[in-house]
A and B are shown apart, each in its own frame.
Chain A
Amino acid sequence: MELNKETSRQALHFALGMGFLLLLLLMGRNTLLFALSIALASGILLINQLILGRFERIKKIVSMFERKDARFFGESTVWYVSGLLICSTFLQNPNEISAAIIALGVGDSFSNIFGRMGRMRIPWNKGKTLEGMVAFFAGTLLSYFFIGPTAIVFSLAMAVVETLPQGMDDNFVIPIASAIFFHVIV
């Protein structure tokens, strides 16, 4: 049951990522920023209403995608949208933003789905597997279409960051790490 829930959650994150990527490619950075702002503002209001027990039917649907250990209902979605919004704010280049969205939408989803099937534990984080890290790397390599050969270094860096013990939601850490990668390193 929990496995299906996690797969559903990753499928949602993948779909969200692809939706935001499409919006960026078709309408540009400013439209993406606007859409993310509206999504975050309306999303937290909806989360508050769901926490207060309103809209039971919507709550049932959202529960299908929610983590068990969330601090508050809808927490990972708030982190996801906030992370993408900060990343889109910090980065000016649409290709770099696209790469960050791919890392979060594709790389992280692949890592979660394939990582749970893996057996080889990573020495610095026993909760993650080598198979998950490789899946993250492979998924994020799709960013090659936007940033060229830099995608190899980017994918490797993000795959390592994803496995680090962070104490924060990786839906937030990955876009921030992407922003730092392009802003500071590249």
Chain B
Amino acid sequence: MIDKATYFVYSLNNPVLDFVSTLMNSQAFLVIAIAFLIVLFERKERNFARISKILFIIFLAYILTEGLKSFFAAQRPCVSEIVSKIPCPADFGFPSGHVLIAASVMFAYIKRKEFIVFWLFTILIAFTRMYLGVHTLVDVAGSIALAPLIFHFSNVLWRWVFGTE
């Protein structure tokens, strides 16, 4: 049964939210938006090792998303409980790939002032996933909680491969 928080967000109806949520649903938009923010924040320092590491984090987040979706095989709320505002995606629900990728990149900026931009971006994505009715609170909360794990493993793997932070 769908939780109250998810149902509350899903039951909102606003044309601006409809537009923003549909736009953010596009994986191409997500990739372009993250890439734009990274370029914007890294344009002065041009630290390519750092940019590569962030790309590596995105790659790990993507792999983990696909693996966990297959492992848990959790149905999306729009399959049987609610009618989503967009066509219900065919793949499984947990975790939310959109949120996991955004949250993982956010953790890469934990020590920098740009963090707040990624924080807002992640919260907005989490909100829109529930608003569209394609994810529940469990899906998005679990995805945010998995982000530190991806950040940690990317650091470990990076250090193992390149011998540096």
Q: Which of B113, B142, B155 contacts A89 (CB 8 A)?
A: B142
The answer for the CA separation of A163 and B146 in the assembled complex, in Å, is 23
Instruction: Flag whether A62 is at the interface (Cβ < 8 A).
Output: no
Select the stretch in B28-36, B47-55, B84-92, B115-123 that faces chain A.
B115-123
B148 and A33 contact, CB distance less than 8 A: no
Chain A positions 34 through 46: 1 when the CB is less than 8 Å from some CB of chain B, otherwise 0: 1011001100110
A10 to B158, CA, bound (A): 31
Q: Min CB distance, A172 to chain B, in Å? A: 7
Across the interface, which residues of A come within 8 angstroms of B144, CB to CB? 37, 40-41, 85
- Determine if B111 and A33 form an interchain contact, defined as CB atoms under 8 angstroms apart: no
Contact residues on B (Cβ < 8 Å of other chain), bracket: 20 to 34
A30-B137, A33-B3, A34-B137 given as contacts; is B116 within 8 A of A86 (CB)? no
Interface residue SS majority, chain B? helix
The complex places the Cα of A172 from the Cα of B146 at a distance, in Å, of: 10
Once the chains are docked, how many angstroms separate the CA of A186 from the CA of B76? 26
In the complex, whether B73 has a CB less than 8 A from a CB of chain A is no
**Residues of A near any B CB (own CB < 8 A):** 30, 33-34, 36-37, 40-41, 44-45, 47-48, 51-52, 71-72, 78-79, 81-83, 85-86, 89-90, 167-168, 172
